[in-house]
Structure 1
Amino acid sequence: MSVIKTKIDRSSSDFDKNREANVALAADLRALNEKLLRGGSARAREKHLARGKLLPRERITVLIDKDSDFLELGRLAAHEVYDDDVPAAGIITGIGRIQGTDCMIVANDATVKGGTYYPITVKKHLRAQEVALGDTGLLEFCSGLGGPALTDCEGIFSGVEFSGEQWEVGSRLG
């Protein structure tokens, strides 16, 4: 295999500046990722745990086969979209292996605004269903939802793409 030639000068000041900028951006992304993995506020998580409930990522870990991976999709959904902080659009979606079979998993996060749905939450949920229909054919839904978010619910289920599609696709998946 031939070596790809480059004209990058690793000893230049531009290279150093660009590298430092990229290292800082990567650190910011790691910090954001850690925040999104926590879900809702510390208070909401404590309240959830005090009720004897598992956090959604814990539910997924218990659900999927031991020592298997979970490929999360759309973790950045709703990031800086709304005035409220809505980590991962309030739902966790991804592909995990359950009893040896790959399945699309959707888990509501009740620590994020009580599990309410924002318009982008609906889009993320529908996209997970589309992936399930096209790829895995199976959908596992871990519910704990609180209906539409009253602060941003205008038109949440309006339009052709939302009117009943979530339930219609869900019924096709079984």
Structure 2
Amino acid sequence: MPQFKSKIATGSDSFAQNRKDMLTLIDHLRGLEKRAVDASEKRRPTFEKRGQLTPHERLKRLLDPGMPWLQLYNMANYMVEDSNPDTSIPGGSVILGIGFVKGVRCMIWVDDSGIRAGAATTGGWDASKGAQKMAQDLKLPFIHLVESAGANLMEYKVELWAHGGMLFRNLAWLSAA
């Protein structure tokens, strides 16, 4: 097998500038991801009063310690329902990703009930459908930690009912698989 040799000049000024620019963008992305976690954590007192774990704590306890976690769709719904980049919360009220549970790689969907009580969002539903399809295609076990207010009926659009039904149908198919 032939070896690939990079022609990137890692000592060049342009490489250094590109790296700096990319690290700045990554820091911005991590800040947006933290915005969703921080928004969810604001409800911590409510969870504690009920004797519940926060959504992120439930996920952490489910996952095998020290094993990788690949979060997916972390920018779902960003600037969809709130067009202000300074206040829009990414994630679509769901936490989706691939992680290990008892040594088995699984697709995991956690309703983030710390944000909007876990009420479904358009971006969250699209992301959840994508995660379901990925789990089906990759033959991954699918775990859904459910704690959701359902849909916000005051902001709900009739066209979305079919998408909600599709999510439940997909869960049934994944369960059968």
TM-score using structure 1 length: 0.80
Q: Name the CA shift for 1:54/1:22 in 2 (closer, same or farther; >3 Å).
A: same
Query: In the alignment, does 2:63 pair up with 1:64?
Result: yes
SS at match of 1:94: strand
**1:129 corresponds to:** 132
**2:34 corresponds to:** 34
Could you tell which deviates more after superposition, 91-100 or 46-55? 46-55
In 2, Cα distance between equivalents of 1:136 and 1:73: 17
**1:144 corresponds to:** 147
Name the Cα RMSD after superposition: 2.8
- Which amino acid is the alignment partner of residue 30 of structure 1? R
Deviation at 1:26, TM superposition (A): 3.3
- Which amino acid is the alignment partner of residue 33 of structure 2? N
Deviation at 1:163, TM superposition (A): 6.0
Q: Percent identity among equivalent residues?
A: 24
- Which amino acid is the alignment partner of residue 82 of structure 1? E
SS at match of 1:31: helix
**2:79 corresponds to:** 80
**1:170 corresponds to:** 171
- Which amino acid is the alignment partner of residue 35 of structure 1? R
In 2, Cα distance between equivalents of 1:141 and 1:5: 45
SS at match of 2:91: helix
Q: In the alignment, which of 92, 96, 107 is matched to residue 110 of structure 2?
A: 107
Deviation at 1:140, TM superposition (A): 0.9
Deviation at 1:21, TM superposition (A): 4.6
Query: In the alignment, does 2:97 pair up with 1:98?
Result: no
1:59-86 alpha-carbon deviations (Å, 9 max, x no partner): 1111122322221111111111112744
Q: Name the CA shift for 1:144/1:73 in 2 (closer, same or farther; >3 Å).
A: same
- Which amino acid is the alignment partner of residue 146 of structure 1? A
Q: Is the 8 A contact 2:69 2:99 kept in 1?
A: yes
Structure 1 spans left out of the alignment, 5+ residues: none
Deviation at 1:145, TM superposition (A): 0.6
Q: Is the 8 A contact 1:116 1:148 kept in 2?
A: yes
Deviation at 1:92, TM superposition (A): 0.5
**What is the total number of aligned residue pairs between the two structures?**
169
Deviation at 1:52, TM superposition (A): 1.7
- Which amino acid is the alignment partner of residue 167 of structure 2? Q
In 2, Cα distance between equivalents of 1:2 and 1:107: 40
SS at match of 1:141: strand
**1:116 corresponds to:** 119
In 1, Cα distance between equivalents of 2:66 and 2:155: 39
- Which amino acid is the alignment partner of residue 165 of structure 1? M
SS at match of 2:138: helix
SS at match of 1:72: strand
